[in-house]
Structure 1
């Protein structure tokens, strides 16, 4: 088994015998090499007991294989070109960020990106221990369309402008640094000033605002109560992971 697996580890630029202190001292991940189909073979490493990898909205869980009788577990995952995906390790009932990946998404998730994934110049790389800044403005919003009372956070990037409604708002607040990214994009002129509205999902329910008409009504109603000119929307954009539309 070692003769079969060890060359693949070397192929990914890893040195030392898997499971040894020397190996773990230089281990990193995930590491990718080109695949024959134009995608990428990506190696994930885990140190400890049996575990699997859970990818968010991309694939089924991937079990890890043990290297001999060592504490090294690994998976070689075929990924398509230009992929960026959030993932976590599952060991028993617990979830963990990848200890070998410096790019985190909250305390128990990491982000994997293939070498050809599009650059994200305005999105800072954050570690799993980093605490992201959140908007100071909060609004308690009563809406029949959204199923009752909801709490939204509001941030005026560059002083505010058209409304950008971010569904699954907690993800964009606490896992992915959306506020920082928008501020940076506005500051360097990549996009005009906007007003970000982070809409929290109802516990245990999928987002109930997945249509452009809902985004338009939500943006208008939310800021009808605000007296600040920065919070008067001139248009509304609807943003959820993997989906964006103008309204």
Structure 2
């Protein structure tokens, strides 16, 4: 962000495509390239705040399931309508289920979202897509409607999507963790 000279106003301009939907928070200036031993990620995440001038906020579903970006985040929503509107259901509706899977490698359980396409039951030949941040994708990103619409348009073949939710373990899991 850039400070407007002689004021307490900070600004940034970013060109985004129509239909963009993202969450954001603010935090103090940190050197994110600092060595792991000198960067306090917990303090960094705890220091994040929502945009007090944006009435659109998302509150994460449970206290034990925090977002890496904060318990409450601001929403920038350039999407034209409700994200679930327009879900086409070809030969029936798609299904999304949530599972709690135990990982012996991680030593804990993880929530995993599973998307099954509309139409006949998938087979072992059905393509698999793996994406991270399941709750965010399903509830903020409108990815389920995107999946349905891509399949209905024939842009992609029907596929199964598996979307693990790392929750509060995201920083460790995605920082070259051996586990």
- Taking structure 1 as the reference length, the TM-score comes to 0.38
The equivalent residue for 1:110 is 76
The equivalent residue for 2:150 is 185
For 2:153 and 2:52, locate their aligned partners in 1 and report how far apart those are by CA, in whole Å: 32
The equivalent residue for 1:138 is 98
For structure 1, the residue ranges without an aligned partner over 5 or more in a row are: 1-61, 113-124, 215-247
Deviations 1:75-114 (A, max 9, x none): 254x5898x79464649964038749xxx894612168xx
The equivalent residue for 1:156 is 116
- Give secondary structure in 1 for the equivalent of 2:173: coil
Quick check: 1:95 aligned with 2:34?
A: no
Instruction: Return the match for 2:11 from 69, 75, 91.
Output: 75
1:140 shift after superposition: 1.9
Q: Which structure is larger by alpha-carbon Rg, 1 or 2? A: 1
1:139 shift after superposition: 1.8
1:168–1:198 Cα contact (<8 Å) kept: yes
Deviations 1:189-233 (A, max 9, x none): 00000111120104143363799xx9xxxxxxxxxxxxxxxxxxx
Give the number of aligned pairs. 129
Runs of 4+ in 1 over 6 A off after TM superposition: 66-69
Task: Give the 3 Å change call, closer, same or farther, for CA 154–95 of structure 1 in structure 2.
Answer: same
Deviations 1:162-201 (A, max 9, x none): 2211112222122211111011000000000011112010
1:141–1:150 Cα contact (<8 Å) kept: yes
For 1:146 and 1:126, locate their aligned partners in 2 and report how far apart those are by CA, in whole Å: 40
> Which one scores higher on RCO, CA 8 angstroms, separation ≥ 6?
2
The equivalent residue for 1:176 is 141
2:22–2:140 Cα contact (<8 Å) kept: no
The equivalent residue for 1:65 is 4
For structure 2, the residue ranges without an aligned partner over 5 or more in a row are: 28-46, 59-72, 86-93
Structure with a larger share of its residues in strand: 1
For 2:172 and 2:152, locate their aligned partners in 1 and report how far apart those are by CA, in whole Å: 31
- Give secondary structure in 2 for the equivalent of 1:172: helix
Task: Give the 3 Å change call, closer, same or farther, for CA 67–181 of structure 1 in structure 2.
Answer: farther
Over the aligned positions, Cα root-mean-square deviation in angstroms equals 4.6
For 2:96 and 2:143, locate their aligned partners in 1 and report how far apart those are by CA, in whole Å: 15
- Give secondary structure in 1 for the equivalent of 2:11: strand
For 2:2 and 2:23, locate their aligned partners in 1 and report how far apart those are by CA, in whole Å: 13
Task: Give the 3 Å change call, closer, same or farther, for CA 68–202 of structure 1 in structure 2.
Answer: closer
1:166–1:199 Cα contact (<8 Å) kept: yes
